[in-house]
Chain A
């Protein structure tokens, strides 16, 4: 039996659609609830980011509980930036005890790129070690070898960047994540299909599910900002030009069109097992994107 609805879908061989929401800066969760209600029946799972870009926010775990309460399928993103191994293990126990079993294991952005630059960066573990930590806990013991009264059972995923700056080193890490037990990968934003095809040629030898990540661009300015300030992301000049060519106020519509075009192509070519849509603050356009990408009704 599958551990979670997401795992069941991943194993079904059907095209998987996930998206993500960023929790609010503050305790007002009405926006999260609005987006969860809007999206929960249109996608297979909703990720919640963990202080994305090292900007302090409402916790991923809290928003995952809201998704669960409202009948959605959450993916808890956990980074190693803010918690040592005691806190990471406790987080997994708590999530599992409340029915949150999909976990995306990430190293996390540097503290320096966020809004609390003076904070102590933790990084007691890295993403590979975090994946192994969960597998260890599933065997009934904690990292120190002590017995757990009630072991968690999770569907664990990781991230990979198909357009990384130096792919050879990135693939060494990818191999280690697969070995550590990652069942699925949600990639960083894909903007270059040739690079993604090359990555899939390599990745398809492994028994893991790859969901291609797509960032919905909203303007040429946003794309340029990502190039200058968002770790690892490089939006190609052609796409920036395409966004710059539309009249003011139409950037987001163009971004939706671009993402839909990419998604249709990877689906037509059968390149990977699904997609992960990152609307970064524009979650309301996800239904429109799903329609444009011909993904309505594809979900469970």
Chain B
């Protein structure tokens, strides 16, 4: 299937029009902004393809159309919010804004969200903090698809860890990593291409090693060794156990199970200037990045990169040239828009232009 190149604002406007048929416009804009950021940074697994997944769950009433946030705890630098099964991206953005405000006052803030849903790309939130000269943290738990190290049955999501650190320029050093050995998307791809996968990526539903992507997708993902498993357990504790959300094997699957997920997230900020003068911090960040990118690469590598460099470069490129998108996904978006009686004339017109 071919690819199309589409300007970010047009793709965004199409998605907002679709979403706002089901959710209030201001929430639609936030959800779509997150998906577009994922597309721009090249993380297409969390991009506009999520429009379908999200709306399927919304149509089944598994996600509330509006996000009614209720503060359960409010304790100086910390808080716990109940998102009442609303949109993860909406609750997440608001929680990070709250962490930024409190972090500016006290130096540190951590905010928990329970009864939430998939919050999109974690770096969306941590970069909000970095843009305010803060270090941002975001964690979430997710569908129980991963086994703990050495186990046959799942009780973990591929729970991501995300940290962003500003540099004083438009570069934001960002580590956004899952705790799995590989992304489920890569197994999907292998299945599509009819390729075998390495035997340490996943296990079958019976807990046996496999190199067959189909069996792997019916089975469970393996963690990034004992360390990845330990990290995933810790993330599950701070996002699930601590927040009052579902956790571990209690988290229903996003795609296969028709019950609200009640996911939990934890957001955090550290205000850099409370520790060190920003000028000194940014001078040393430049040195830190230079040390990495100036490293002589090992055999088999073209260059050495700082965390988040690929995504930053992809974003700069796609902001300028437009987003590269599977044509199939764009066509599906348009037919969904038609179903909702959105006027798609200008969006179809673009398809003719790029052809």
Task: Decide whether A and B assemble into one complex.
Answer: no
Binding site for A on B (CB under 8 A): none
